A and B are shown apart, each in its own frame.
Chain A
Amino acid sequence: MTHPGDGTVTIELDQRDDGELIGIILAAARRGDVATMARTASEVSEMTRNWATHIPWDDFAALDGADDELARVVADLTEMWEPAHLRNPVDPDEEYALDKNAYDFYRPAGRNLLTRTEDFYDWVQARRRTETWQYSRVLEAAPDSVAQITNDLGRRARGINFNSQDYLSFNTHPGIREAAAKAMHDYGPHSAGSPMVLGNTRISDDLEAALGDLVGLEHVTLFPTGWAAGFGAVVGLVRQSDHILIDRLAHSCLQQGARAATRNVVRYEHLNVEAVRRHLAGIRATDSRNGILVVTDGLFSVDADWPDLVTLQQVCREYDATLLVDVAHDLGSMGPGGTGVLGMQGLLGAVDIVMGAFSKTFCSNGGFVASRSPALKQYVKMFGGSHFFSNALSPVQTAVVREAARIIRSAEGDALRARLFTAIHALRDELTGRGLTCMGEPSPIVPLLIGNEKLARTANRLLFDRGVLAFMVEFPVTPTGSSRFRLQVQAGHRPEEAREAARIIDGALADSRAYLSSAFGSAPR
């Protein structure tokens, strides 16, 4: 037939398809029968000729005698003809371990809750066999800037430690240990019960006062973990018909709290205050009755950035929305006098609700919720669930946090933060100088962007034996395709240690790229 506007092309329907023709040519080539090759080639479609431009379709007849030329044609045609994975076999375990991500197992099939977890377990086992499972490593001794660990296959390693959240190196601080010992002596190891019953001690009251002082919000409630504080604050306050606007990358305890509290959840673009304003205007246009909680982290825990809280709080007030800020990572470790992002933005005492965790700088477990309202405090204690229905922090934990809060506010705290930031700058500068991408701003969290999960998992495997302990984060902590190493710096890291670690990480990444034969770099877009 002939196409309109194109008188030259005639296409014969009955022609054999290219696959069949290539099969014939290949068989003839193997026999050295160039005449058949040339005859058959004339029937191959124009499409295929224009595509497989490396095959000398018109010159088959002239291949006579030139042996390696013929061999080349055979090789090239075979490549077009046989499935490529048959030529390049791969280790199925490794392929499985590196290709999947945890999300692939989120909705398992079957009605038996016990057996349907097995699919996921097979994948975990493949990751473990190939030593690419970064989770559940254990410490062999007290960690400081160096730690000794065992992975979940029982293999040991020792390395410069970026896995502890102990930003001011309190774990080895004599004052902190002494406070723990004293509380142990005075009250024993047990917390007697829920803080609503008899779980708190006098130390708890002191601690609430100290924290209130630190963030400028005098009504403070303690929780057994930071997770419980975030979850409890959200579900304690928000009801089905209320709304939540939450930063897409806010911590899991807040996301899960939001999902548990209401279906009216909007995840706004990371840090985008203008987006919050738009959403608030949209909600208020149709709903003037119900509450709106706006939720964000202070310092984001895998991105190392923070929002403009001044504008965010202002925007919230304009629309009668309430702001909740999670300062788990920045409180104590940065900002004037350890006041974190709030202090850096001049917002002490000026944010509606602040929550935090003691699991980072404060060298313990636990968390808190603070505001200026005694009513809100009593309400969250009653309806937060994770406060009422969970045992209180133990006296030892409470005493440690109280002592940590004291040091944080002292001149020693300033000195420790100065050392911490010297190490942070050394690490970031060395990584950046090597062409790697550190995300966010200088802070105790240094996220080193890797992106591709395979690369990150392979680099992680290499690092284990090279003397750096760095936690690799991937989905569900980060979005698919933006995995990274989260390096958590401590005041106890010497700058030279930080630079040495950067060199080792760079080497492991280069070797992983070579191992995977990958050309992708580390620029985000």
Chain B
Amino acid sequence: MYDAIVIGARCSGASTALLLARQGHRVLVVDRASFPSDVISTHFLWPHGMSYLNRWGLLDEVLAVTPAHTTVEVVNDGISLTGSVPVELLREYFRDLHGDDSGVVQSYASVRRRVLDQILVDAAAGAGAEVRTGFTVRELVVEDGQVVGVRGRGADGEQVEERARIVVGADGRNSFVARTLGLPKFDERPRCTFAYWSYWSGFDLGPAQLHRRGRLACAVVPTNFDQNMVLVWGPSEWSREFRADVPGNYQRTLDFVSPELGETVRARGVREERIYGTLDQSAFLRPLHGPGWVLVGDAESAKDQCTAIGMTHAFRDAELVSAALDRWLRGAVSIDEAMAAYEGRRRSQNAAAYHDYVCTLAEMRPYRHDELQLFVALRGNQQETDRFIATHADVAPVSEFFQASNLFLLNDAAKESSADHAVFADFAGTSRSYQQNLFA
């Protein structure tokens, strides 16, 4: 009999197991995959994601093999902003959400999942959690409506049953726990992006670059093995046409969104792997908990990749749920109180506002005139640019940036005007042309 069985041993699962084990609880964590291995994900970690790793004592191990930076360049229709997430906002984030702000770091990195997830799994084992990889859960053991354990098959092919006081579903977007319990989906937002990426050597551009033009976008971020993760994305409505020629349209997107980047990749880049992709990224929430079970990570809330936040959210869930479960397992609070505390954080108004922010961005509509003007107004205003980046990354609440008095002041303080940026020259014509499917 374990205190907790965690299904899934990646960003949310291994972390939850690690934290619970460190608190002295008996934990079993299983995953059908073996490690090191990848999972569909472009693995960018914002500074709060890195800070979680630092809080858990794992950041050095990651940084030993992964390049990291603090400033990021964001270019929207030619309007460039460069900034970083302010330390003070990071501290506030951790204080608000977790009650302490230790371990904050300002850097970001792109960590291959085969690297990161292995470090997490090893750390969980090192903390005393029992880790079984190559173990597929095939049934939940349910007694009197309460989940009390799992049945599954291990690497040796043998069928086993294990029991615990709580089963944690850390089993991703297509969660086995959710499907088995027939859990509904809430707050669905079907419009999302298609995303295709691969790994390139042959150039080093320094910090991360994110580019957007019309309905398409691309990003280049240095990652492990002296490679760059080069990603393109666009509206899922255009995915069929994109799919007709993946390598050709991948390059075409780069050329369209950032001709300079397109040229770098074409002329100097060596592609090291096949091109990966998906368009299955519609957003939803699931019920968070029920008798004997609780969900974390993508299983509880999946959303589009366009703000590169899922892994960081998985870490956040791990800290929140392990803190809640610890109080219950120690007998300090009832399970209902523990779960209510977790739910309060995870289904808050700030969380709702960010859900909307991501889902709206994921529709990849061409930027509106007023949105582009805002980017112009931000140029030269470093403090607000940084706060905007922090808002985009879900460090600072959406409501604090998108507030009338702030937006008016930003406007008043603008140092540049539309005359300085080409996209405004024939705005109506340009916007119309952006509606054209580039791949049709």
| A and B associate | yes
Chain A contact residues, CB within 8 Å of chain B: 1, 3-6, 8-9, 11-20, 23, 45-48, 50-54, 76, 79-81, 83-85, 87-88, 90, 99, 103-110, 246, 248-250, 252, 255, 259, 263, 265, 267, 449-455, 475-482, 516-525
A90, B39: Cα distance in complex, Å: 31
A84, B282: Cα distance in complex, Å: 6
Are B405 and A519 within 8 A (Cβ)? Answer: no
Would you mind naming 18 contact pairs between A and B with Cβ atoms under 8 Å apart?
Answer: A1-B272, A3-B114, A4-B225, A18-B278, A45-B276, A47-B40, A51-B40, A53-B32, A53-B172, A54-B176, A84-B236, A107-B370, A246-B405, A255-B408, A480-B403, A519-B347, A523-B344, A525-B348
How many B residues, CB 8 Å from partner? Answer: 89
B406 proximal to A (CB < 8 A): yes
A137, B314: Cα distance in complex, Å: 45
Are A45 and B274 within 8 A (Cβ)? Answer: yes
Are A103 and B353 within 8 A (Cβ)? Answer: no
Contacting residues, chain B, for A106 (C-beta < 8 A): 370, 407
Indicate with 1 or 0, residue by residue over B257-289, a CB within 8 angstroms of chain A CB atoms.
000000000000001111111111010011110
Give which listed residue, B225, B345, B368, contacts A3 with CB less than 8 A: B225
Are B287 and A519 within 8 A (Cβ)? Answer: yes
Known contacts A47-B39, A53-B174, A480-B398; is-contact A248 B403 (Cβ 8 Å): yes
B332 proximal to A (CB < 8 A): no
Are B398 and A481 within 8 A (Cβ)? Answer: yes
Q: Given known contacts A11-B273, A90-B190, A481-B354, what 9 new A-B pairs fall within 8 Å (CB)?
A: A19-B246, A51-B174, A103-B407, A107-B374, A109-B424, A248-B403, A259-B409, A517-B188, A523-B348
Contacting residues, chain A, for B291 (C-beta < 8 A): none
Contacting residues, chain A, for B190 (C-beta < 8 A): 83-85, 87-88, 90
A265, B409: Cα distance in complex, Å: 8
Are A451 and B33 within 8 A (Cβ)? Answer: no
B419 proximal to A (CB < 8 A): no
Known contacts A51-B39, A51-B172, A521-B343; is-contact A103 B370 (Cβ 8 Å): yes
Within 8 A of A (CB), among B293-330: none
Contacting residues, chain B, for A479 (C-beta < 8 A): 398-400, 402-404
Output the least CB separation between B216 and chain A (Å). 16
- How many pairs of residues, A versus B, come closer than 8 Å at their CB atoms? 234
A487, B355: Cα distance in complex, Å: 27
Nearest first, the 5 closest Cβ-Cβ pairs linking A and B are A481-B353, A451-B349, A107-B370, A480-B402, A109-B369
Are B348 and A521 within 8 A (Cβ)? Answer: yes
Are A109 and B427 within 8 A (Cβ)? Answer: yes
Indicate with 1 or 0, residue by residue over B386-423, a CB within 8 angstroms of chain A CB atoms.
00000000000111101111111101110000000000
A519, B96: Cα distance in complex, Å: 21
Output the least CB separation between B126 and chain A (Å). 18
A14, B274: Cα distance in complex, Å: 7
A79, B284: Cα distance in complex, Å: 14
Contacting residues, chain A, for B132 (C-beta < 8 A): none
A5, B196: Cα distance in complex, Å: 26
Known contacts A53-B171, A54-B176; is-contact A13 B408 (Cβ 8 Å): no
Contacting residues, chain A, for B65 (C-beta < 8 A): 5
Output the least CB separation between B99 and chain A (Å). 12
Are A520 and B399 within 8 A (Cβ)? Answer: no
Contacting residues, chain B, for A23 (C-beta < 8 A): 243
By beta carbon, the residue of chain A nearest B280 is: A80
Are B352 and A481 within 8 A (Cβ)? Answer: yes
B25 proximal to A (CB < 8 A): no
B3 proximal to A (CB < 8 A): no
Are A263 and B413 within 8 A (Cβ)? Answer: yes
B360 proximal to A (CB < 8 A): yes
Contacting residues, chain A, for B82 (C-beta < 8 A): none
A107, B372: Cα distance in complex, Å: 9
Contacting residues, chain A, for B237 (C-beta < 8 A): 83, 85
Contacting residues, chain A, for B274 (C-beta < 8 A): 11-17, 45
Output the least CB separation between A58 and chain B (Å). 10
Are B174 and A54 within 8 A (Cβ)? Answer: yes
Output the least CB separation between B437 and chain A (Å). 13
Known contacts A19-B246, A517-B187, A525-B348; is-contact A83 B403 (Cβ 8 Å): no
B428 proximal to A (CB < 8 A): yes
By beta carbon, the residue of chain A nearest B349 is: A451
B205 proximal to A (CB < 8 A): no
